[in-house]
Amino acid sequence: MTASLLVFVPIALLALIGTFCFVGCAFHTHGLGDVPPPPTPFTQYSGDVTGNSSAVAYWPLNEPSATAANPVATAKAADIVGGHTGHYTHKGNAPDLFPCPGFQVAAGVDSAPALGSLALGVVSIVKGDAVQPGNDPNVLATGMQVNGGFVTVPVNGVINPAPPFTVECWVQPEWSAAASPAFHVIIDSRNITGTAFTGFAIDVNEAGNWEAELGVAGASAFVLVTGGAATLEQSTHVVLTVNDTNNATLFINGNPASVLTPLGGGLTRPTRCRHW
């Protein structure tokens, strides 16, 4: 039920569904290289991000809502670092997109249609995040819930840079363990033009494992950096870092779940939106 989806480019995430809770996403251009993020959950995440001079974008996703079940139709997802404002998209303000048709994840196996629900002002999943009232790490601020709904941010070079860079998010998968296989996309900044695959994404794949997808020059498909199984009902800190030697690492709760070194032809950046 709780769901969260942050999208870096205007992309119609038709048929890509998932139940998540999101409290925020940050984007850094310095890259973490071989230094992993802190191994324990942050209690001052918002302050850590905004106080980091190399951070270029941060979406707390903590905008208020008229009601939890009926988000403000015109709500904007503020980037409080770089000003790259995003748009909350859901069945209330984009009824033509929802419900989305199922997406085939295997022969004869379709994902369920995305309903397009999205709620703002729900209880966050990380203590003290994204803003600590009274600097109390035990106080939970608000987050975003979605099932098919998403946030779009116009494509640009600042939030789609060349390596080194780091992108991270807090997310809590909450779909049913008995649900049909599906790709649950958390962050998507990809594009396919002819045979060229560009950009990056973070998702939970149809096998239920954390995964990063990277567009690499000369590759015939997105290159995968796959981690372990996503734990349902658990707040998870997910980080993708690509350093200046094109080594890609996927961290789950501070632990390197998978390392791909090197990426071969190098990560390629999207120059336009990807539409399905």
Phi then psi dihedrals of residue 149, to 5 deg: -65, 165
Q: Tell me the torsion sign for CA atoms 157, 84, 186, 191.
A: negative
Cβ contact 5:143 at 8 Å? no
Q: What is the per-residue pLDDT for 230?
A: 93
Q: pLDDT by residue for the chain (276 residues), tens digit each?
A: 223 233 222 222 222 333 444 445 555 444 433 344 444 445 567 777 777 778 888 888 888 876 656 666 778 888 888 898 988 888 888 888 888 776 666 677 666 777 888 888 887 777 666 555 566 666 677 888 888 888 888 888 888 888 888 888 888 888 888 877 778 888 888 888 888 888 889 999 888 999 999 988 888 888 899 989 999 988 888 989 888 888 889 999 888 888 777 677 777 777 654 333
Position 253 scores a pLDDT of: 86
- Tell me whether residue 44 is exposed, middle or buried, using C-beta atoms within 10 angstroms of its C-beta: 0 to 12, 13 to 18, 19 or more: middle
pLDDT, residue 202, reads 93
* Distance from C-alpha of 121 to C-alpha of 139, rounded to nearest angstrom: 14
Cα–Cα distance for residue pair 275/221, rounded to 1 Å = 17
Residue 135 burial (C-beta neighbours within 10 Å; 0-12, 13-18, 19+): exposed
Distance of CA 8 to the CA centre of its chain: 8
Q: Would you call 208 helix, strand, or coil by DSSP?
A: coil
Q: How far is it, in rounded angstroms, from Cα 175 to Cα 180?
A: 10
- Looking at residue 38, its pLDDT comes to 47
How many alpha carbons lie under 13 Å from residue 25 in its C-beta half-sphere? 29
* Token code pair at residue 116: 């397009």
Position 44 scores a pLDDT of: 66
Judge whether 203 and 150 are in contact, CB under 8 Å.
no
- Please give the span between the terminal C-alpha atoms of the chain, in angstroms, as a whole number: 24
